[in-house]
Amino acid sequence: MKLNIGIVGLPNVGKSTIFNALTETAKAGVANYPFCTIDPNVGIVNVPDERLYKIAELEKSKNIVPATIEFVDIAGLVKGASKGEGLGNQFLSNIRQVSAIAHVVRCFDDPDIVHVEGSVNPVRDAEIIETELILADLQSLEKRYEKTAKAAKTGNKEAKAELEILEKAKAILEDLQPLRLHLDKFEEEQIDWLKKTLYPLTIKPIMYIANIPEEDLPNGENNIYLKQLKEKAEKEGAPLVILCGKVEQELIELPKEERKEFLLALGLEEPGLNKMIKTGYKLLGLITYFTAGEKEARAWTIKEGTKAPQAAGEIHSDIERGFIAAEVINYEDYIKIGSMQKAKELGQLRIEGKDYIVKDGDIIYFRFNV
């Protein structure tokens, strides 16, 4: 399943530091000047899920395979990117290829770290990027609009239907609004058409990552910049993750056995990056189901609403093709019983057919024949 999240933001907001901490590498360059990242860095990250480790413990599994999610560290954007300023064209091309956006916003003062706009202002900074994405979408739309309007004048029914969609989208973008905030104005098939035809940047789901200073951890309640960003995120209905990129980087440099103590000293229960990964997973509309046994406990990633045969296809196309039934128990019920063997003996495994929609936390054994 090729779904990924692009990490974006103005230069010097901490994108590459956060990416390096996420992937536990020094893959992305980190420096105190704009455009330190030029080519996008790609990292595959394990999705933290305590359920998988509990299942593995109870099943005495020899191997554990977590679900993963892909993050892409994209070059910093500046005002005028839609006209090719900075690395504008490259940035827009890279972001067009991701499924969702993690927008890192600087919420700290530091005279030693250059701010491309000369001062810290999280709402303004977020809006600079948003405006450039809107203008880029408008450019793409206007090219299509002209051609479609001509065809519609000749009485072409398909062109007329397309023009209706384009006019709605054009009005939203000309009002400097992102499409994702106005999807209720479109039919579902119209949204699909937009995504497959114009690949708009502002239709992609977004989450904001507030990069706060260490002294404001754990929750940044006294950080005025964070309050401003929170208001913006709440108004848009977008998720907001609070973390300190510097601390996350320091954390991964510690031996694993010392990390818990380090977090507790800062008043944190888990790394901020865990929240970022989980939020990103949810933002993409993903859920997890498990397969478990003595040999292996594994988490599988599927889109919410996936039916059992297609979920089986994530394991192997032969299982989807030869699907007979799914033996299912949800995690909560499984924990009460304590093992798949006991669940089977007690008759607690449900038999589900090809129309069953897999739920998050299902533990499944697939019956198939090829």
Q: What residues form the annotated binding site?
A: 12-17
Q: CA 76, CA 92: separation in Å to the nearest integer?
A: 11
Tell me the CA distances in angstroms from 76 to 17, 34, 207, 285, one per residue in order: 13, 7, 17, 26
The four Cα atoms 319, 320, 326, 331 give a dihedral, to 10 degrees, of: 90
- Nearest partner of 69 among 55, 94, 48, judged by Cα: 48
Q: Which residues are annotated as a binding site for ATP?
A: 12-17
- Nearest partner of 42 among 98, 81, 104, 126, judged by Cα: 98
Q: CA 69, CA 67: separation in Å to the nearest integer?
A: 7
**At 102, is the secondary structure helix, strand, or coil?**
strand
- In the chain, the N- to C-terminal Cα span, in Å, equals 23
Place of tokens 């970022």: 276
